[in-house]
Chains A and B, each alone.
Chain A
Amino acid sequence: GAVVSQHPSRVICKSGTSVKIECRSLDFQATTMFWYRQFPKQSLMLMATSNEGSKATYEQGVEKDKFLINHASLTLSTLTVTSAHPEDSSFYICSADIRYQETQYFGPGTRLLVL
């Protein structure tokens, strides 16, 4: 149980294009989903928290117009990197929280490379 999928696992795109990453909780309904960014050999940095049906809450320094988050249902959240640039290249990983368990289960991550 508690499986989270993420798609795509890897994406290479040209500078200026937008990229959408999906995060799904496969066998449970997620109260909240989280989006993280991880640079090589560094820890995870929380970008935003999203709850189904409401606007995402972004961490300080994260551009909400750059990183659009939509949480359409209790099992799906999407992150769209708009007008991607090489500095957006990173490992993006989502997690889903099970209500009352206070535990986040993570997806396999998406490696984004912007050329």
Chain B
Amino acid sequence: AQKVTQAQTEISVVEKEDVTLDCVYETRDTTYYLFWYKQPPSGELVFLIRRNSFDEQNEISGRYSWNFQKSTSSFNFTITASQVVDSAVYFCALINAGGTSYGKLTFGQGTILTVHP
């Protein structure tokens, strides 16, 4: 069975600070996909990134960056120069590419990020 752990329940920062959201996963499959979603107060989940298990390159998109390390089963998310609009709940998630759980997203518990002006 797979599992995603986001140990940080809540994080509070002041605008312009950098913040890293941690994500650790467990899976027995060798092929899987990792995701980050943002859920603002409106409730809609916004897709941020997908990473497959064979691609360990880090990725940067504007103020967002992701660090994927298979050796530690981690897929951490960093926001640089945070802004108030970044305040949301962030979910890390995993999909296995095979087996009975194929296609099913396993979510972490979510991290509530609050950015204060």
Chain A positions near chain B (C-beta within 8 angstroms)? 2, 32, 34, 41-44, 46, 49, 91, 93, 95, 97, 102-109, 111
Contact = CB atoms under 8 A, between A and B. Distances in A.
B109 interface: yes
Given A32-B103, A103-B50, A106-B37, 14 more contacts: A34-B105, A42-B110, A44-B105, A44-B107, A93-B44, A95-B105, A97-B103, A102-B52, A102-B103, A103-B35, A105-B47, A106-B45, A106-B46, A111-B43
**Most A CB within 10 A of own CB, among B33, B52, B103:** B103
Contact size range, B: 20 to 34
Given A43-B109, A102-B33, A102-B97, A108 B44 contact: yes
Interface string B40-57: 001111110010100000
B91 A43 contact: yes
A interface SS class: strand
A49 B44 contact: no
Nearest to B4: A43
Contacts of A46: 104-105
Nearest to B9: A41
Contacts of B97: 102
B interface SS class: strand
**Most B CB within 10 A of own CB, among A34, A43, A106:** A43
A108 B35 contact: no
Contacts of A106: 37, 44-47
B108 A43 contact: yes
Contacts of A41: 112
B110 to A, nearest CB: 5
Interface in B61-117: 91, 95, 97, 103-105, 107-110, 112
A97 B50 CA distance: 13
Nearest to B110: A43
A91 B43 CA distance: 8
Nearest to A44: B107
A108 B38 CA distance: 12
Contacts of A93: 43-45
* 4 closest cross-chain pairs (CB), A and B: A106-B45, A108-B44, A109-B43, A43-B107
